[in-house]
Structure 1
Amino acid sequence: MGDSYRTDRYKLRLLPGYYLGQALMTPPPQNLSRIRPAQPEDLETMGRVAYLTGFFGESAAVYFPSLSLFRDLWIKPYLYGAGMCNWLAELDGIVVGYIVGASDTQVYRQYFLRSAFEMLKNAMAGKYPGLVGCVPYLLRAAWYSNRRAPAELYPAHLHINLLPQARGFGLGHQLLEAHLNCLRARGVRGVQLSTTRENDRALKLYEKFGFEVYIEWRSPLWKPWLGREATHLTLVKDLRAQY
């Protein structure tokens, strides 16, 4: 599969009779859904889901032409040493969503330092088609960085994504519940996440689980692709308290 992903050029089967890029005409049977722990061998599938939802629930291709680089930056670290309590959501055996996270953000950052040389070799070997087109976003992301909550209070962080066709079946609730219970069982005291006001559905889910706004700010990060500034939020949850 090439990195110039478009749903009209490449159809990945979602369920029998349905494909990514098409709306589900009828809901799949509820007994076909499940969540399971994510494994390193799930990297490719998770990378595709991440890419298809990487722009406010839609494809990241609009600002990040390299699927493989997107995957290696934002999925691979969690599956290869920096992550904990990672889960997948499936419908009829097909991965349609995930939640990943790290219990210690410092460990996550150290992973990038260790893997920087490998990623540089991959880039020089041409393994990241579309790399040049990703530079504008990467530069803006470095300049307009996220504002984080104190790591001593909220050492863990998480990311959750579901394909549009898989939303509305309670899978997001199951993923988040499993992830938080896993962190809590391992003695992690708090968790944080970054999102925007664009993600209305996700914000309602986070509120239901007791996440609170730590900081909120306007950022021009997405303006070239969104056409306006976005309101960013850092949400936090004390895992010592039940939701």
Structure 2
Amino acid sequence: MQVRSYRPSDHDALRALFARAGEGSPTATLWQHPESEADLYLEPYLRADPDSVFLALVDGVPVGYLTGCLDSGASPNAAELMARVIKEHRLISRRGPAIFFARSVVDLVSARLRRVQTAAEGFSDPRWPAHLHINVAPEARRSGAGRALMEAWFDRLRARRVPGCYLQTVVQNERAIGFFERMGFIKHGPTPEIPGLRYRGARVHQQTMVRAFDTGQGPAGSASVTEAP
């Protein structure tokens, strides 16, 4: 297995991997339209900082990827990206996305009535300015691909003297949470509902996880632990 930085020639293969890498997870598909999901959750990273994108390859074929951002505060505006993707792909006129977005609206109203917190886009804390997304294809899970991708990302964070990193997964993805904990992340903050998303018919909750790095510039930030899977 080889882990290396993204190259422009990887683009089509990475898009194909994106469409299937999450199979079996609670977030395997959001609104059942992989092309628009890739435009929202993959392409911005390839444009903004391709050196923070890593691939795991077997025989030259990508089986896993990690997209990273060194400074989340400099990320493109999530609401603007979503609005553009909805317009460009005409998602409201497509059955799967339309159902998802309608359910999201209902969930938001329901949460407000129940006085329940819902997941917000992004996370901001100077102790953990960087963030990542990682996915490994089913056939490469438990092969060391995920760990190798994480180590490549950690090396980049250390080289750039970034004090910490966060990620967001879902409470229901116990396999992923266990992996992240083995990689040094800990649970942080509340676990709000994610509007629109369902897993096995039930509502899904967001889990933020954080990891600090010693930059040699004083003690790294510590995180509070919230018990939830």
TM-score band w.r.t. shorter chain = 0.7 to 0.9
Q: RMSD in angstroms over aligned alpha carbons?
A: 3.3
8 A Cα contact 1:48 1:71, kept in partner: no
8 A Cα contact 1:197 1:233, kept in partner: yes
Aligned amino acid, residue 7 of structure 2: Q
Distance 1:111 1:224 in 2: 21
Deviation at 1:54, TM superposition (A): 3.9
What secondary structure is seen at the aligned counterpart in 2 of 1:235? strand
What secondary structure is seen at the aligned counterpart in 2 of 1:229? strand
Distance 1:45 1:131 in 2: 25
> Are the structure 2 counterparts of residues 118 and 224 from structure 1 closer, same or farther at C-alpha, using a change threshold of 3 Å?
closer
1:145 corresponds in structure 2 to 119
8 A Cα contact 2:44 2:76, kept in partner: no
8 A Cα contact 1:49 1:96, kept in partner: yes
Distance 1:171 1:194 in 2: 19
What secondary structure is seen at the aligned counterpart in 2 of 1:98? strand
Distance 1:83 1:169 in 2: 25
Distance 2:92 2:122 in 1: 31
Deviation at 1:76, TM superposition (A): 0.4
2:89 corresponds in structure 1 to 123
> Are the structure 2 counterparts of residues 117 and 193 from structure 1 closer, same or farther at C-alpha, using a change threshold of 3 Å?
closer
- Cα deviation, 1:7-63, whole Å, max 9, x if unaligned, reads xxxxxxxxxxxxxxxxxxxxxxxxxx11111123323322232222346537845x4
8 A Cα contact 1:78 1:100, kept in partner: yes
Distance 1:56 1:148 in 2: 24
Distance 2:121 2:79 in 1: 19
Structure 2's unaligned 5+ residue stretches are 109-117, 217-229
- Cα deviation, 1:179-238, whole Å, max 9, x if unaligned, reads 011012112111110012332232222112221111242525365453112342100111
Aligned residue pair count: 205
Distance 2:12 2:6 in 1: 12
> Are the structure 2 counterparts of residues 43 and 108 from structure 1 closer, same or farther at C-alpha, using a change threshold of 3 Å?
farther
Counterparts of 1:52-71 in structure 2 under 5 Å?
A: 52-54=20-22, 57=25, 60-61=28-29, 63-71=30-38
Aligned amino acid, residue 176 of structure 2: A
Higher RCO by CA contacts (8 Å cutoff, separation 6 or greater): 2
Aligned-pair identity (%): 26
What secondary structure is seen at the aligned counterpart in 2 of 1:109? coil
1:35 corresponds in structure 2 to 3
> Are the structure 2 counterparts of residues 234 and 118 from structure 1 closer, same or farther at C-alpha, using a change threshold of 3 Å?
closer
TM-score (norm 1): 0.70
- Cα deviation, 1:97-147, whole Å, max 9, x if unaligned, reads 10111111122124875x6797577436xxx79855324435629954347
